[in-house]
Amino acid sequence: MPHPLSRKFSLGFLLVIPFCALVLSITMRRKPDAMASPAPSVAVDETAPVATELPQPGADRISMIETEPGPTIAASAAPASDETAVVTGQLVDAESGAPVAGALVRWSAGHERQTTGANGRFTFDRAPVKYRFGIFVIKDDEYMREVVDVAIRRGTKTHDVGTIRLVRGDGRAEPARAKGESGIVHELRDGHAFVARVRPASAADQAGLRAGDRIVSIDGKSADGLGFTARSRLLDGDVDSSLTLVIETADGRQRTVVLKRRLPWEVARAGVQP
């Protein structure tokens, strides 16, 4: 005679078999997520250009990265308009005023480059309008490398950047960064040097210099036509050394200002003091 527990086990086993079959049938009718169609692959064109710059707000866009001896001005995305202008200029020696021949000139918004002739002049036939770019000048065997920021207004057909005065020196040398600063952020417009911005608590700020003031001369040397490299070398120098500027305000009045160059972090620290 079978044991009572054996009869109960047999009965339970017979009930489990139909239940498992029912579950298996329901599962097979449903499509599991693992068998779902894979997401379509997206083809990536590895040869397509990749944007490496963020345009600045406003119609005129420029990306400037300060390096030694001067800034590298890289143009942003191409302008929406196809309007172009002819850009001309001349390179001369800063001391003698003689034309500089054989200098390489190129612009950041395109691949066009040329070498100046005996008259030191250069011409770009298709410079973008309503667009900021840099003109680079290289003649390493005689002059320091230079860069000039250019902006052309819409509707302009011809734009002359004027005379760019080159300072003699080895353009391939890596100059030591000056420790003392004047606190002036400067720019070249229409052949003249201007104060673009004044750093708070700097010597220039304490002397009352303001954005828009024209820098007529630096330590007795005319600032007209000097590029970024030359202006920076004249404005910056040893800590606590004196700097004499002739400044012309917007109303045409000129005054002489004597500044004392300071360490950048001293200026920054003074600017945040209550």
Domain boundaries, the chain: 62-166, 184-271
pTM for this predicted structure: 0.64
**Whether the predicted pLDDT of 259 surpasses 50:** yes
* pLDDT given at position 38: 46
d(CA 190, CA 233): 21
Give the C-alpha separation, 187 to 259, whole Å.
19
Q: Do the bridges between strand 84-93 and strand 158-166 make them parallel or antiparallel, or are there none, so unpaired?
A: parallel
Question: Tokens 């972090």 identify what position?
Answer: 265
DSSP string computed for the chain: ---HHHHHHHHHHHHHHHHHHHHHHHHHHSPPGGGSPPPPP----TTS------PPSSSS-EEEEE-SSSEEEEE-SPPSS--EEEEEEEEEETTT--B--S-EEEETTSS-EEE--TT-EEEEEEEESS-EEEEEEE-TTTB--EEEEEE--TT-SEEEEEEEEEPBS-TTS-PPPPSBB--EEEEEETTEEEEEEE-TTSHHHHTT--TT-EEEEETTEE-TTB-HHHHHHHH-BSTT-EEEEEEE-TTS-EEEEEEE-B-HHHHHHHHT--
- Given 3.30.450.40, 2.60.40.10, 2.30.42.10, 2.40.30.10, which CATH number is that of 184-271? 2.30.42.10
Predicted confidence at residue 132, as pLDDT, reads 74
pLDDT of residue 267: 57
Output the CA torsion sign for 142, 145, 146, 147.
positive
Burial class (CB in 10 A: 0-12, 13-18, 19+), 3: exposed
| Confidence band, pLDDT 50/70/90 cuts, at residue 2 | low
Q: How confident is the model at residue 82 (pLDDT cuts 50, 70, 90)?
A: confident
Q: State whether residue 10 is helix, strand or coil.
A: helix
Share of the chain above pLDDT 70, in %: 64
Confidence tier at 26 by pLDDT (50, 70, 90): low
pLDDT band at 265 (very low <50, low <70, confident <90, very high): low
177-205 mean pLDDT? 89
Q: What is the mean pLDDT of residues 266-272?
A: 54
Q: What is the pLDDT of residue 69?
A: 38
> Residue 249: what pLDDT?
95
CA angle 56, 69, 246 (to 5 degrees): 85
The two structure tokens encoding residue 6: 């054996």
Q: Who has greater pLDDT, 198 or 54?
A: 198
Tokens of 33: 């997520």
Instruction: Compute the average pLDDT of residues 205-215.
Output: 95
- pLDDT at position 33, please? 45
Q: Which CATH architecture describes the domain 62-166?
A: Sandwich (2.60)
**Beta-bridge partners for 124:** 87
pLDDT at 150: 84
Amino acid in position 255:
R
Above 50 in pLDDT, residue 155? Answer: yes
Domains 62-166 and 184-271 alike in fold = no
pLDDT for res 174: 63
What mean pLDDT is predicted for residues 85-106?
94
What pLDDT, on the 0 to 100 scale, is given for residue 134?
Answer: 84
Average pLDDT over residues 208-237: 93
